[in-house]
Chains A and B, each alone.
Chain A
Amino acid sequence: MDMQKLSAATKIQARNVDVFYGENQAIIDVSIDILDHAVTAFIGPSGCGKSTFLRCLNRMNDTIAICRVTGSITLDGDDIYGREVDPVQLRARVGMVFQKPNPFPKSIYDNVAYGPRIHGLAATKADLDQIVEGSLRRAALWNEVKDRLAEPGTGLSGGQQQRLCIARAVATAPEVLLMDEPCSALDPIATAQVEELIDELRESFSVVIVTHSMQQAARVSQKTAFFHLGLMLEYGDTAKIFTNPDHEKTQAYITGRFG
């Protein structure tokens, strides 16, 4: 299938990753290969560590003082926890979209232009305009907002805000896009729009999405990882996980018997 051809290369490789919050271990010995040009879904009951693991991939956990990460995570073969890696630059390469839409209380234009500006990605105003338009088009938001770029991003509807956040994340030309339950605060119509968008984004990025919705994982992802109590119990093609899982816990979770 076409899909298989696209998802050939490994983008992120994690080996024996442990995460501790103080004394508590939140992630236990997780190893995973995340593919390029594919959507990988992390599923599992609340508190299983899927969001924690996602936040390891762009070192957002660095901002939590008591959090400690061991093991190795590589992006294109380079250790992202290496001494020479700057988390600030890493986060431009590994973009993130959060659970609650969180546009800056600035104009729509400035929201998208913020990343390119601070990283110095645009030499001229015209360049920046182009990046903003391109990113908004990518996020399927351009047609809705092109006439009111100067209006505050917080004035948009919830679904539009979340697409604005996606536009903001893709504006720094990342290679990986991390999404932490991006649709949990959205209504079904907005959810459908964002899901459609995720499918398109796969052409350019490696997308990792944390979701509580089985249907969503099944609809948008090619690979699915099932987390339970800090362990990654199963990882494989989405079609297989949802139809014929190896692990009985996976089976129980996707059929709604717990979680």
Chain B
Amino acid sequence: MAETTLTRAVDWSDPAIRRGISNRHRRDFRLKVIGASALGVAVLMLLILVGSLLYNGALAFRQTHVTLEFEISAAHVDAADPAAGNYRAITQDALLRLFPEVTARAERRALGGILSNGVQYALRDRVVADPGLIGQTIALDVLVSDPFDQLAKGAIDRATPEANRRVTDAEIAWFDRLDAQGRISKPLNLGLLTNADSRFPEQAGLLGALWGSFYALLVCFLLSFPIGIAAAIYLEEFAPKNRLTDIIEININNLAAVPSVVFGLLALAVFLGWFGMPRSSPLVGGMTLALMTLPTIIIATRAAVKAVPPSIREAALGVGASKHQVVLSHVLPLAMPGILTGTIIGMAQALGETAPLLLIGMNAFITQAPDSIMSPATALPTQIFIWADSPERGFVSRTSAAICVLLVFLIMMNALAVVLRKRFERRW
């Protein structure tokens, strides 16, 4: 101690020392600026991403409808068998009545193209549900087809030469007349959430993908949560520290870094190939995602269990608690906030995972929401993948809108993780 004491008095006003101090302050400032600008770049990128998604997706949050009077005449629909009626003719007539000058066959076809292909089926379902409508004329808000939806939203530039445009001058004139009569409306696009997928963008929605993702995540959670916690508890509390457990530990950490497409290949070979489980089903999707989520949950649980202060373990052991009592009534409850946070973050990752689901066929074209974990379905990210691949103009904005929906779910899950962590946080 005595040897290191300075032998001379320090002159703190020495210019060299002062320079050193101001140099250090400058370096502090530089580090702060670098950090702040890095953060600024990250925030800017995020804003650009979200901004462009919202900008592109905004078109898909509204959907163009047209109000028409449909005459359900007995000539087209037989009251004895309403399902077999000629509803296509009814929808055609509804438009032709407004445009009596249109007579040529090709023109009439083009006029009919204003309405979405799904209108006749919607009308049929309505009449089948209420056969009393036969013989009446009903006014309905119905979907217009995608080109006119785009036209109404201004996504089709009227200044483009007619040959390069999806809609002809004549079609634009018809549409403008409908608009002038106040028949065109653009309400909130609820169909985006209540319809399943469709070939026609104006009818396509996320219902099937939402249910598919929900079922897949449910399966994933039910498998990975208990298995992950049990494995982590064993490794942390019971396993002897030897070479075997070291190897297992290293491999679990490596597993967390394996590209997800590899898990998809594994699932394809094992679940579909060997076990013959149903292709495209949320069950297989969930099992695949569980394989990916397991390492995340195991690692999070081990960290949370490690963070439980040893004094609590000692206290429990000291009054004679046995191993399982220490684990179940003391360690696990205290580790729960960390475990839940890790689990939800793992589940959020699983929700956004695309590659493994593509390999097990969850990117199929399915126009119905799944009714169980066994029926074929898509998931949110694969639905986005399908739509992004579709050529119709309407799918461009729908892709962005679907990404927004996915992001909303991810944000909600992360918020839930924060809330749970705050709620279960305890002091000791």
Contact = CB atoms under 8 A, between A and B. Distances in A.
Interface of A: 58, 60, 63, 65, 88-92, 95-98, 100, 102-105, 114-115, 118-119, 154, 165, 168-169, 171-172
User: Which of B240, B311, B334 has most A Cβ within 10 Å?
Assistant: B311
> Which 5 A-B residue pairs are closest in the complex by CB-CB distance?
A92-B320, A115-B319, A102-B311, A91-B320, A96-B318
A68 B37 CA distance: 56
B426 interface: yes
Interface string B302-339: 00000001011111111111100100011000100000
Nearest to B325: A118
A104 B317 contact: no
A168 B318 CA distance: 10
B319 A114 contact: yes
A89 B311 contact: no
* Main SS class of interface, B: helix
Contacts of B426: 105, 154
Contacts of A65: 240-241
Contact of A105 (B320, B322, B334): B334
Interface in B231-265: 240-241
B12 interface: no
Contacts of B312: 102, 104-105
A203 to B, nearest CB: 21
B315 A103 contact: yes
B319 A91 contact: yes
Interface residues of B, number: 22
A60 B316 CA distance: 11
Contacts of A92: 319-320
Contact of A104 (B240, B316, B322): B316
Interface of B: 240-241, 309, 311-322, 325, 329-330, 334, 426-428
17 contacts: A60-B314, A60-B317, A63-B313, A65-B240, A89-B320, A91-B319, A96-B314, A97-B318, A98-B318, A102-B315, A105-B312, A105-B334, A114-B316, A119-B320, A154-B426, A154-B428, A169-B318
User: Which of B240, B311, B315, B427 has most A Cβ within 10 Å?
Assistant: B315
A119 B428 CA distance: 25
B319 A98 contact: no
B321 A118 contact: yes
Contact of A98 (B241, B315, B428): B315
Contacts of B314: 60, 96, 98, 102
A105 B319 contact: no
Nearest to B314: A98
A7 to B, nearest CB: 25
Given A65-B240, A154-B428, A104 B315 contact: yes
Contacts of B330: 104
Contacts of B325: 118
B317 A63 contact: yes
